[in-house]
């Protein structure tokens, strides 16, 4: 398919992202955006469709080297008026993560417009439900594809790549007791809940003693707490988000948390092991050179959040990393925006990276992962944290 050159210039790249940000797509409400994105990818020369779970998918090229560019189209709630101002594009999802996803689609289209016979097949996936524990889109993609390399689209900054993410355990803890008058000396459920949270927080600090890097620490956050009573029994429920380092898998974290709550009832509502990969694969070298060619010194990050790469990289066992323009500090904020020049620089970096991967196809396909701590987190026994 021949693509009008005007669809591929920088103005068109900005308009692509603006149009995506203008279509709301909070988690589990991505259908309208998926249809929109598939249509826009078709204009860029990608063969687009919406898959069985609602992912927006665009493919281009015939291989034999295969790559998956896995982004996500869902956002957290919160309307932000879409506008271009002061060299920035404002809107929910501009950074997290429609900016990286738009950059994927545009870079793929530009590469094949220049080199239609490039020995590469790319699949651009805009996954659903990344911002909620289900990760439904990534789970589906994990089972559908077996690529030779993967780039996950999350904001790293146009001059950086992310090499690892923490895992998580999301849980509810319920305390209950017979009802009593507030005038009595017995602690109220609200007081008991606060006391329990203080104990969990203190246990977290003890666990982290001697761990200098944030990436190596256990993070425990109290997200919400709610009291209720039917007149006979009083209850309080604490909603917890526990972020896990590489050496603490979700099962070990569950054992640790259960030890802190005593007679409380624990309900696990989501789990994901941490992940980290090497920075020495042919894919990493290609991206490093591409950033350098744009005049920047590449940066290598380990983040305390979690991403879809935690799911797919251990299954695919191919060179994998996370990359995307945008400042992650703006994720989920009321001021979410992306600097347009950085977005455009990110597209150029991706173009050069994809072309380099095609040239280095033999090395990419020959790459074999080595055993890492993360492999243990996905199956073998690891150290259980002490209470």
Query: In the predicted model, is pLDDT for residue 380 greater than 70?
Result: no
Residue span(s) of the chain under CATH 3.40.630.10 come to: 5-165+274-366
More confident residue, 127 or 186: 127
With tokens 């998956």, the residue in question is: 68
pLDDT digits over 330-343, tens only? 999 999 999 999 99
Asked if 275 contacts 309 with a C-beta cutoff of 8 angstroms, the reply is yes
pLDDT of residue 379 exceeding 60, the answer is no
Band the pLDDT of 230: cuts 50, 70, 90.
confident
Q: Please tell me the distance from the alpha carbon of residue 34 to that of residue 51, in angstroms, as a whole number.
A: 10
CATH number of this structure's domain 5-165+274-366, picked from the four choices 3.30.1360.120, 3.40.630.10, 3.40.190.10, 3.30.360.10: 3.40.630.10
Contacts of 234 (CB under 8 A, 6+ apart): 176, 177, 178, 179, 180, 188, 189, 227, 228
Confidence of residue 116 (pLDDT cuts 50, 70, 90): very high
Q: What is the pLDDT of residue 184?
A: 65
pLDDT digits 0-9 by tens, 74-92: 999 999 999 999 999 999 9
> pLDDT digit string (tens) for 32-65?
999 999 999 999 999 999 999 999 999 999 989 9
**pLDDT at position 371, please?**
55
Q: Of all residues in the chain, what percent carry a pLDDT higher than 90? A: 87
Architecture of the CATH domain 167-271: 2-Layer Sandwich (3.30)
Question: How confident is the model at residue 387, as a pLDDT?
Answer: 27
Q: What is the DSSP string of 232-277?
A: SEEEEEEEEEEEE-TT--HHHHHHHHHHHHTT-EEEEEEEE--EE-
Query: Quick check: 82 and 21 in contact, CB under 8 A?
Result: yes
pLDDT confidence of residue 378: 39
Q: Can you tell me the distance from the alpha carbon of 351 to that of 365, in angstroms, rounded to the nearest whole number? A: 19
> What is the rounded distance in angstroms from the CA atom of residue 167 to the CA atom of residue 263?
26
Tokens of 356: 């380099």
How sure is the predictor about 263, in pLDDT bands with cuts at 50, 70 and 90?
confident
pLDDT tens by residue, 144-201: 999 999 999 999 999 999 999 999 999 999 999 887 666 666 888 899 999 999 999 9
The whole-number average pLDDT for the span 221-225 is 96
- Residue ranges of the chain assigned to CATH 3.30.70.360: 167-271
Distance between CA atoms of residues 103 and 82, nearest Å? 18
Residue predicted with more confidence, 385 or 213: 213
pLDDT confidence of 2, banded at 50, 70, 90? Answer: confident
Model's pTM, two decimal places? Answer: 0.92
Show which residues are catalytic.
74, 130
Please name the helix (run of DSSP H) or strand (run of DSSP E) that holds residue 168, with its range, or none.
strand 167-178
Helices (H), 1-126: 10-22, 31-43, 98-114
């Amino acid at each position: 398919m021949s693509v009008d050159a005007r669809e591929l210039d920088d103005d068109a790249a900005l308009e692509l992202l603006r149009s995506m940000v203008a279509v709301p797509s909070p988690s589990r409400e991505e259908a309208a955006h998926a249809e929109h994105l598939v249509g826009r990818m078709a204009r860029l020369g990608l063969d687009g469709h919406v898959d069985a779970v609602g992912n927006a998918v665009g493919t281009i090229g015939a291989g034999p080297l295969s790559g998956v560019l896995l982004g996500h189209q869902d956002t957290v709630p919160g309307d932000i008026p879409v506008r271009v101002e002061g060299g920035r594009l404002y809107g929910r999802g501009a950074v997290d993560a429609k900016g990286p996803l738009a950059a994927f689609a545009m870079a793929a289209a530009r590469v094949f417009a220049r080199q239609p016979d490039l020995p590469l097949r790319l699949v651009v996936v805009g996954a659903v439900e990344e911002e909620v524990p289900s990760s439904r889109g990534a789970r589906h993609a994990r089972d559908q594809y077996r690529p030779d390399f993967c780039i996950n689209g999350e904001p790293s900054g146009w001059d950086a790549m992310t090499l690892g993410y923490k895992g998580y355990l999301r849980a509810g803890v319920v305390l209950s007791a017979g009802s009593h008058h507030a005038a009595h000396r017995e602690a109220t459920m609200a007081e008991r809940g606060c006391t329990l949270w203080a104990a969990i927080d203190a246990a977290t600090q003890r666990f982290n003693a001697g761990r200098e890097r944030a990436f190596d620490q256990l993070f425990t956050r109290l997200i919400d707490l709610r009291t209720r009573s039917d007149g006979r029994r009083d209850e309080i429920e604490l909603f917890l988000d526990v972020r896990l380092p590489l050496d603490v898998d979700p099962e070990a974290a569950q054992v640790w948390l259960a030890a802190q709550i005593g007679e409380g009832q624990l309900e696990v509502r989501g789990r994901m092991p941490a992940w980290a990969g090497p920075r020495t694969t042919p894919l990493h070298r290609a991206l490093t050179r591409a950033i350098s060619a744009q005049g920047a010194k590449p940066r290598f990050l380990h983040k305390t959040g979690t991403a879809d790469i935690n799911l797919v990289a251990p299954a695919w066992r191919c060179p994998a990393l996370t990359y995307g323009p945008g400042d992650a500090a703006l994720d989920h904020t009321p001021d979410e925006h992306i600097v347009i020049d950085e977005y455009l620089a990110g597209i150029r970096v991706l173009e050069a990276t994809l072309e380099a991967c095609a040239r280095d196809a033999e090395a990419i396909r020959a790459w074999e992962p080595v055993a890492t701590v993360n492999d243990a987190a996905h199956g073998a026994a690891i150290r259980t944290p002490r209470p």
